[in-house]
A and B are shown apart, each in its own frame.
Chain A
Amino acid sequence: MDKYETHEYDVVVIGAGGAGLRAAIESSAAGVKTALVCKSLLGKAHTVMAEGGVAASLASADTRDNWETHYRDTIKGGKYLNQWRMAQLHAQESPDRVRELQEWGAVFDRTREGGINQRNFGGHTYPRLAHVGDRTGLEIIRTLQDRGVHQGIDVYMECTIRTILKDPDGHVSGCLGYWRESGRFVVFHAKSIVLATGGIGRCWDITSNSWEYTADGHALALWAGAELIDSEFVQFHPTGMVWPPSVKGTLITEGVRGEGGVLKNIDGERFMFDNIPEMFQGEYAETEEEATRWVEAVVADRRPDARRPPELLTRDVVARAIRREVRAGRGSPHGGVFLDIASKRSAEAIKRKLPSMYHQFKELANVDITTDPMEVGPTCHYTMGGVRVDPESQETRVPGMFAAGEVAGGMHGANRLGGNSLSDLLVFGKRAGEFAARHAADRADLTAINETEVEERAAAMLEPFGREGGENPYTVHEDLRNMMQDKVGIVRTEEDLVSAIEAIASLRTRAAGVKVGGNIQYNPGWHLALDLDNMLDISEAVARSALMRTESRGAHTREDFPDSDEQTWGQQNLVTCQTESGVEVQVESLPEMPPELKELIKD
Chain B
Amino acid sequence: MNQPTTQDVTLEIFRGDDDGGEMVEYTVEVQEGMVVLDAIHAVQAQHAGDLACRWNCKAGKCGSCSGEVNGHPKLMCMDRLDNYEAGETITVRPMKTFPIVKDITCDVSWNFERNAKIQTLQPRADTDWQFTQREADRVQEFRKCIECFLCQNVCHVLRDHDRKEEFIGPRFLVRLASLEMHPVDDADRLEQVKDEFGIGYCNITKCCTEACPEGITITDNAIIPMKERLVDRYYDPVLWLWRKLTGKD
Contacts and interface: CB of A to CB of B under 8 A. Distances in A.
Nearest to A241: B59
A360 B78 CA distance: 8
B235 interface: no
B143 A139 contact: yes
Given A107-B143, A360-B59, A524-B44, A44 B50 contact: no
Interface string B45-78: 1101111111111111111100000000000001
A110 B136 contact: yes
B7 interface: no
A516 B58 contact: no
B101 to A, nearest CB: 6
Contacts of A516: 49-50
A135 B61 CA distance: 8
B61 A524 contact: no
Interface string B167-200: 0000000000001001000000000000000000
Contacts of A526: 49-50
Interface residues of B, number: 58
B80 A364 contact: yes
Interface string B29-51: 00111110010000011101111
Nearest to B130: A114
Contacts of B38: 246
A113 B133 CA distance: 9
Interface string A327-339: 0000000000000
Contact of B136 (A107, A138, A147, A525): A107
Given A246-B31, A246-B33, A247-B58, A474 B132 contact: no
Contact of B49 (A48, A49, A105, A474): A474
A41 interface: yes
Contacts of B143: 107, 132, 138-139, 142
B57 A48 contact: yes
B35 A522 contact: no
Contacts of B105: 522
A523 B182 contact: no
Nearest to B83: A363
A419 interface: no
Given A244-B32, A244-B33, A523 B130 contact: no
B49 A525 contact: yes
Q: How big is chain A's contact interface, by range?
A: 35 or more
A157 B111 CA distance: 13
Interface stretch (B116-124, B201-209, B236-244): B116-124
A31 interface: no
Given A110-B131, A244-B31, A49 B78 contact: no
A430 B184 CA distance: 25
Contacts, number: 172
Contact of B120 (A102, A147, A155, A356): A147
Given A243-B33, A516-B49, A522-B103, 17 more contacts: A40-B64, A48-B57, A48-B62, A48-B146, A104-B120, A105-B120, A107-B140, A109-B136, A110-B133, A114-B131, A135-B61, A150-B116, A211-B56, A356-B59, A474-B45, A478-B45, A525-B49
26 contacts: A40-B64, A41-B54, A49-B59, A108-B136, A109-B136, A132-B143, A135-B61, A138-B61, A142-B143, A147-B120, A149-B115, A150-B119, A181-B102, A211-B55, A212-B56, A244-B33, A245-B34, A246-B33, A363-B60, A516-B50, A518-B48, A523-B49, A523-B50, A525-B44, A525-B49, A526-B49
Interface of A: 40-46, 48-49, 99, 102-105, 107-110, 113-115, 117, 132-133, 135, 138-139, 142, 146-147, 149-150, 155, 157, 181, 210-212, 243-247, 250-251, 356, 359-360, 363-365, 472-475, 478, 516-519, 521-526, 528
Interface of B: 17, 31-35, 38, 44-46, 48-64, 78, 80, 101-103, 105, 108, 112, 115-116, 118-121, 123, 129-133, 135-136, 139-140, 143-147, 179, 182
